[in-house]
Amino acid sequence: MDHLPLFARLHGQPCLVVGGGNVAARKARALLRAGGKVALRAPRFTAAVRSLATEPGVELKPGHFVAGDVVGFTLVIAATDDDEVNRSVAQAARAQHKLCNVVDDGDASSFIMPAIVDRSPLLIAIASGGHAPVLARRIKTVLERQLPARLGDIARLLGRFRGAARERFPDLKRRRYFWERLLDSNALAAVANGTGGDDDGDAIVAKALENPEAAPEGIAYLVGAGPGDPELLTLKAQRLLADADVVLYDRLVNPALLDHARRDAEFVDVGKRAAGPTTPQTAINALLVKHVSAGKRVVRLKGGDPFIFGRGGEELRALEDAGLPVKVVPGITAAQGCAAAVGLPLTERGVATAVTLATAHGAADAAPELDWDALCAPQQTVVFYMGVGTLPAIRRNLLQRLPATTAIVIVERGTTPEQRVHRTDLAGLDALIRKKTVAAPALVFVSTATGSPAGKANVA
């Protein structure tokens, strides 16, 4: 081992950063985050450093470095772009027995600055001893992605109960078993993954201390999988998939996403198809209740966002009615994904001041039950989901209220390699309908901005 990893307590400690550029600012910021008081020494300072100087605990010391500058400081960092200056800083620090880091010069440094994953009070430091800083940063990125943002809350929560656990389990082995079982529990994972407050966590630990042998509780996560591009999955969704015992997934979910789950997880296709085999919603609700009741960690992976035309509300209620824990993880809805994919702002200053997501689900000739007058109000973008079959009704209702030149954009399989875009207007929509050119899944974007004072349609 070339270095001994240590975590230094810098609260209120005077630290010197020699340098006035952006690297110096970055180092100073790291020291400030750890509670240090920072003086920066350089003949000139960049705007980044000057703006840092407005923060409490920062002092700028204009002028060239001289050896005596290190006196009175606990720790010194040399962050200039002049090797000679950096070396003289290291020499002065060594002479005064100060800890010193020279940026990008491991040999001249008595300590190195690791890459940090900060889930305070939990800290992970990664260092390559100066051999491969890019590799260290890679590892940091992987850990950042995998570790819940609220892990620090969990560490604090466990800290609050250390005394109580010691009292309850005086035997160290028994106590360790208790903590390990708690850390593996779905209930605690839900706190780490969720948005609940400290009270949730406290109640969970208190309950576990009371009844440590209680059977493990299952949990369901209703997770949005996004519109199709596997990279539009959220970090939280990825983590939950990797942890799931059971994955119930929809037809619209990109199969590539299932690779995030464990191979030994149970996969259940509960896809609902407009034609062909279908799993009724009641059966999906029952499956969710069954697996969660059996103590399983269940991910219900749904296309787009679970709460936008995804029947997520029904699944949430079914689980809540059964008294089972459930959390919802949002996803990028098709309207956002498709709009971004074709460069179509859903709102635009002075052009589209509102956006409406509407379901056009229904029989081909029947007008979907919508408030068409409201949808045709000026200066808005309307996005119809599930509207391929009802295009004739959409066109008819819109034409009764909007000019035939109203711009229409239809996006099929948006964000996927099979994406197709049809740009037309209300008059031209007729030809698309007659030729049956549009295939599901698709979204119909309509801008009512035509004829607005801005005189411009944002979907054109």
Residue from 200, 202, 269, 272 carrying the catalytic annotation: 272
Residue 392 CB, shortest distance to ligand SAM, in Å, is 16
- Among 119, 414, 425, 447, indicate the residue that binds ligand SAM (CB under 6 A): 414
Residue 244 CB, shortest distance to ligand SAM, in Å, is 19
Residue 331 CB, shortest distance to ligand SAM, in Å, is 7
Work out whether 178 is an interface residue with ligand SAM (CB under 6 A). Answer: no
**Helices and strands: H and E segment counts in the chain:** 16, 17
Is there a contact between 144 and 117 (Cβ–Cβ < 8 Å)? Answer: yes
By C-beta, is 20 or 312 nearer to ligand SAM?
312
Work out whether 75 is an interface residue with ligand SAM (CB under 6 A). Answer: no
Nearest to 286 by CA among 273, 298, 304, 274: 298
Strand ranges across the sheet with 354-359: 354-359, 380-385, 442-447, 407-412, 420-425
Work out whether 334 is an interface residue with ligand SAM (CB under 6 A). Answer: yes
Work out whether 330 is an interface residue with ligand SAM (CB under 6 A). Answer: no
The one-letter amino acid code at 77 reads: I
CB neighbours (10 Å) of residue 159?
10
Contact segment (CB under 6 A) with ligand SAM among 177-185, 303-311, 399-407, 425-433 equals 303-311
Work out whether 254 is an interface residue with ligand SAM (CB under 6 A). Answer: no
Q: Please spell the DSSP secondary structure of 371-416, one letter per residue.
A: -HHHHTSSSEEEEEES-STTHHHHHHHHHTTS-TT-EEEEEESTTS
Which alpha helices (DSSP H) does 194-294 contain, by range?
198-210, 235-243, 281-293
By C-beta, is 208 or 342 nearer to ligand SAM?
342
Residue whose C-beta lies closest to ligand SAM: 304
By C-beta, is 274 or 294 nearer to ligand SAM?
274
Catalytic site includes residue 37: no
Work out whether 415 is an interface residue with ligand SAM (CB under 6 A). Answer: yes
Is there a contact between 121 and 152 (Cβ–Cβ < 8 Å)? Answer: yes
By C-beta, is 20 or 441 nearer to ligand SAM?
441
Report d(CA 232, CA 415) in Å as an integer: 9
Cα distance from N-terminal residue to C-terminal residue, the chain: 63
Work out whether 228 is an interface residue with ligand SAM (CB under 6 A). Answer: yes
Catalytic site includes residue 173: no
- Among 244, 411, 429, 449, indicate the residue that binds ligand SAM (CB under 6 A): 411
- Among 227, 230, 330, 368, indicate the residue that binds ligand SAM (CB under 6 A): 227
Work out whether 440 is an interface residue with ligand SAM (CB under 6 A). Answer: yes
Q: Read off the tokens for 153.
A: 């809350």
- Cis status, amide bond into 255, omega within 30 of 0: no
Residue from 153, 229, 245, 250 carrying the catalytic annotation: 250
- Cis status, amide bond into 121, omega within 30 of 0: yes
> Would you give the binding string for ligand SAM spanning residues 383-402, x where CB under 6 A is met?
--xx----------------
3-state secondary structure of 337: helix
Binding interface with ligand SAM (CB under 6 A): 227-228, 252, 302-305, 308-310, 333-334, 338, 385-386, 411, 413-416, 440-443
- Residues catalogued as catalytic: 250, 272
